[in-house]
Copies of this chain bind each other. A is one copy, B any other.
Amino acid sequence: MDNRANILHQALKLFATRGYDAVGVQEICDTAEITKPTLYHYFGSKRGLMEALVNEGCAVFMTELASTIAYSGDLPLNLQKVVSAFFGFATREPTLYRLLLALWFSPPSNEAFGVVAALHEKQEKMVVEMFARASDDHGNMRGRERAYAATFIGMINTYIGLALNNYLELKEAIIYQAVKQFSYGIYS
């Protein structure tokens, strides 16, 4: 048995369903059928466990996202690729994404917030950069790159949140709808 992977797996389930603060280290150990020193041997601290969880779980998606933001001269196509990458990740890893969403809206002073804050900063920087390059073709966008990026990511997360609560499915049609809807806000 791979204890490390098992700890990560059980911790993710517990954190996602009950919250980072509400789950104690002891409970994680009991669920994974190991003891506390074992957990601390692998991760050093509860926060270290959380960091491993988030970073290793998002690594593939982050490189995937990086490749979608290269501006191609066709902004709608870029937007569509970004939305598709987010939706795909949320579909593949719904439990992890639920945890990320909860932490994103948790108070900044919360220990677990710091872990995902860096992640979201990277995401935002990527999307900001995409809009910055697009504003070479669309001059009226210049100066609003940051607001656009935040609104765009916010809308994506709204759709994902609804999907996680079974209000809708993240099918192809929703991708187009999201892009169109957002684009309308820009070109208005």
Contacts and interface: CB of A to CB of B under 8 A. Distances in A.
Interface string A147-188: 100110011011101100101100000000100111011001
A56 interface: no
A26 interface: no
Interface string A1-30: 000000000000000111101100000000
A38 interface: no
A174 to B, nearest CB: 10
Contacts of A146: 167
Interface size class of A (residues with CB under 8 A): 35 or more
Interface stretch (A73-81, A85-93, A106-114): A106-114
A23 to B, nearest CB: 10
Contacts of A19: 21, 106-107, 109-110
Given A105-B102, A181-B181, A18 B188 contact: no
Interface in A126-145: none
A101 interface: yes
A110 B19 CA distance: 7
